[in-house]
Structure 1
Amino acid sequence: MNKSNAPGPANMPRIIGILGLLAAFAPLATDMYLPGFHKMAEYFGVAEGGIEVTLSVFFLGLAVGQALYGPLIDRWGRRAPLLAGIALYIAATLACLVTSDIHLFTALRFLQAVGGAAGMIVGRAIIADLLNPREGARALSLLLVVMALGPILSPILGGFIITEAGWKTIFIVMLGFGLLCAVLVWLHIPETLPPQRRQRHSPAHVLRMWGALLGDGRFVVPALVGGFAQACMFAFITGSPFVFMTLHSVSAQAYGWLFALIACALVVFSQVNRWALRRAEPGAVMGAALVLNLAAGLGTLAAAASGSLAALLVTLWLAIGSLGLIGANAAAIAMAASRQSFGSGSSLIGVAQFGFAFLVSGIVAALQNGTAWPMTGAIAACGALASLLWFAAPARIRKVAAFA
């Protein structure tokens, strides 16, 4: 640990565990309700496309939230903005339960995402406050294991809830989760940015700081690589309900189990990442993972052509699993390059990730043609762009980034 105000080593596992729960806001609020799209469309009296829009808008809210919280947490510290974001998430979730208007529901999903984004961005900043880049990458990898419980458990739970209790119960679970996180943060998450290190800058200065980061290849290359790679997951999230349940006639509950099976790959590869980082630098590990992601993405195209569900599951497992190696290392490298502007750096990483998620989710939905091609094509394209950007970057950038 590299900061004098850091909590003791005995407290770090608890803190990282809570930060993992906070980062699970997004998968919980997206993956759990996927099996309920059809019943929600009936309730609101819209086509299923109207419910898919609530997913894309949620991703947009996450991107906007990332941009908002960065300057806030650099100026006001970590705890207060985090608690305010959780409060917004709780209020929006409660309102989702009582509205029957699809337009208001969609707007509330946007606000729910803006609130939930606080946990994701503040978590990265807290880890950067407390740990050096290599320790930070290992901590982010462990955090991803906790996060992965969201996409593993939530679709299974969602499929069961949809069948037994209706889709509104899903939002009751979200509400309870938000309240639990509020209590845990209040009791156990310390302020890790002391007043003397806070940056009380004007909005114009913040924009200049963002411009400086975006002009620094050591930051922007790993941030964009991570954003492109993570977009593979959002292509899968958006396209998998149709591919599995409609194209391959999988039931809602079985869909939850298949989704969870693929999400388990994130846990496996995140543990591989922790092992690999004891032996290699983050940049080297990420480079190898990008090759795997690209190969697996191309494999999903072959599986789609064959029509084999088993082949599709294997290639998706590898493509999504490789993100457990890419995401933590890309974020750690970019955060190290952001130097003392950890809040702004974290916000731009989040904007890239969920901005791409919003775009890819919309593209997959718009190109839906009754096949698996939109989903698998997006996965392969995102992996190709991530690999091309990393390996085409000047050697000096990759070398500096790897040892930042």
Structure 2
Amino acid sequence: MTAPSKTVGPPAAALTPGELMSTGQRLRLVLVLGSLVALGPLTIDMYLPAFPAIVEDFRTTSAAVQLTLTGTLAGLAVGQLLIGPLSDAVGRRRPLIAGIVLHVVASLLCVVAPTIAVLGALRVVQGLGVAATSVVAMAVVRDLFGGVAFARLLSRLLLVMGAAPVLAPTLGGGLLRWTNWQGVFVALAVFGLLLVGVAVVGLAETLPPARRRRGGVVATARVYGSLLRDRTFVGLVLVAGLAMAALFAYVSGSSFVLQGQYGLNEQEFGLAFGAGAIGLIGATQFNVRLLRWWSPQRILMVALGVGTGAGLVLLAVAATGFGGLPSLLVSLWVVLAAAGLAMPNAPALALSRHGEAAGTASALLGAVQFGVGALAAPLVGVLGTGATAMAVVVAGGMLAATAVLLVVVRPGRLAGLEPDPVAVPAH
């Protein structure tokens, strides 16, 4: 008589490398990655209170100074396209360390920049260097986590990252009390040197040789082509980029609006800017709790709807002056909070589809985010330095992100998106 057959259930899902880490190890990972990616927001935001001083020192226009911000964002966009495939081929650590060193050198050269054009060119180089931190951090998280766990850890990482935009203008304003704008770049160089040590000591390689991608330029082009043919991925990347454009429109225009139009001094501007960043950070952490009950897809859709509505209210307040500065800041806070909910979930959904090329996919995501942001910054300058010009671009970015989600990604396709977890590599 044959033995009774045993019922075989579905195989248990493989644990991701991150799920095998202890709580303490995850906390250390977040702190290390957060300190590394903080270099980007600090590089972008720390010199914002010095915009009026730079205009006066170089005897140039506000639009020309805003172009130095655009240069940084353009460098970030291009740098990520280069560093992403490189990190997939040689690992995460070496491109990261090389990028930070390049940033340090560019920061020191900014101190002695003789003209606004040279400063703008050096800001591009700064962006190229700092691109390594954002690409590698995102790729490391994708190496170790997948699905909802990716979105949760990214939200935690954004908490650490969020301290940088909160502190950056305040730190910049504090430095300007006893030094000139060149001192801001000295501080960035010093912080970069510290981060080289953090990267060397605190970050282990997360991409084993067996999972690295070879093949040079042709293989890289092929991977980018496959990513661009994924309509859902492209749509989600555009959503993330347009939400970032709304954020950078605020970043580039806020110093002129709050200091020039509403009369805040450098320190008051730093506090007001930090209050908005707190809203952004708070939303990213609330996202972790929301993920217990809501899917990333639903959070993304609701966040973009709220952000679009708040953006339109911001535009009305800026155009009419209704409610003065308090109404302007409150509507901005709601937009930033909505962006804080959208920013972890759109990338998590996009990158979950391409774990086999996390570095390249992260690079394309970052390039679009900062590339669209680079376009938003000068657009604010072209439209003017008032609140209405800033509000037009902020509201337009959120409205466009919602339109892309509805038309390109489509709610039905988004609802059926199932993230694929990262399997533990075989040994």
Correspondence for 1:340: 356
C-alpha deviation, 1:147, in angstroms:
1.0
SS at match of 2:129: helix
Matched residue type, 1:231: A
Superposed CA offset, 1:171-216 (max 9, x none): 1211121111111111110100000110012212211211111111
Distance 2:71 2:205 in 1: 31
Structure 1 contact 282–402 (Cα < 8 Å) conserved: no
Matched residue type, 1:385: A
2:129 corresponds to 1:115: yes
Structure 1 contact 153–260 (Cα < 8 Å) conserved: yes
Structure 1 contact 137–328 (Cα < 8 Å) conserved: yes
Matched residue type, 1:347: A
Aligned equivalent of 1:79, options 63, 87, 93: 93
Aligned equivalent of 1:238, options 239, 252, 260: 252
C-alpha deviation, 1:99, in angstroms:
2.9
Structure 2 contact 62–381 (Cα < 8 Å) conserved: no
2:339 corresponds to 1:323: yes
Structure 2 contact 142–150 (Cα < 8 Å) conserved: yes
Distance 1:157 1:197 in 2: 41
C-alpha deviation, 1:47, in angstroms:
3.1
C-alpha deviation, 1:402, in angstroms:
5.5
1:300-311 alignment, distance < 5 Å: 300-307=314-321, 308-311=324-327
2:421 corresponds to 1:377: no
Correspondence for 1:274: 288
Identify which range, 192-201 or 240-249, moves more after superposition: 240-249
Correspondence for 2:196: 182
- Change in CA separation of 1:364 and 1:260 when aligned onto 2, cut-off 3 Å: same
SS at match of 2:416: helix
Aligned equivalent of 1:254, options 268, 274, 299: 268
C-alpha deviation, 1:254, in angstroms:
0.8
Matched residue type, 1:386: A
Superposed CA offset, 1:99-147 (max 9, x none): 3233322211111111001110111100000012211101111111111
Q: Flag structure 1 segments of 5+ consecutive residues without an equivalent.
A: none
C-alpha deviation, 1:366, in angstroms:
1.1
2:104 corresponds to 1:90: yes
Identify which range, 64-73 or 24-33, moves more after superposition: 24-33
2:232 corresponds to 1:210: no
Distance 1:145 1:334 in 2: 21
2:44 corresponds to 1:30: yes
Structure 2 contact 311–398 (Cα < 8 Å) conserved: yes
Distance 1:257 1:300 in 2: 20
C-alpha deviation, 1:302, in angstroms:
1.6
Structure 1 contact 218–337 (Cα < 8 Å) conserved: no
TM-score by length of 2: 0.91
- Report the number of matched residues: 403
Structure 2 contact 155–284 (Cα < 8 Å) conserved: yes
SS at match of 1:341: helix
Identify which range, 333-342 or 43-52, moves more after superposition: 43-52
1:354-393 alignment, distance < 5 Å: 354-368=370-384, 371-392=386-407, 393=409
Structure 1 contact 86–119 (Cα < 8 Å) conserved: yes
Aligned equivalent of 2:365, options 340, 345, 349: 349
Identify which range, 26-35 or 96-105, moves more after superposition: 96-105
Superposed CA offset, 1:337-387 (max 9, x none): 11301111101100110110011112111111x531211011111111111
Structure 1 contact 5–192 (Cα < 8 Å) conserved: no
Identify which range, 153-162 or 43-52, moves more after superposition: 43-52
C-alpha deviation, 1:331, in angstroms:
0.8
C-alpha deviation, 1:279, in angstroms:
1.5
- Change in CA separation of 1:112 and 1:6 when aligned onto 2, cut-off 3 Å: farther
Distance 1:384 1:45 in 2: 36
Matched residue type, 2:56: E
Structure 2 contact 104–189 (Cα < 8 Å) conserved: yes
Correspondence for 2:168: 154
Q: Percent identity?
A: 36
Matched residue type, 1:275: R
Matched residue type, 2:399: A
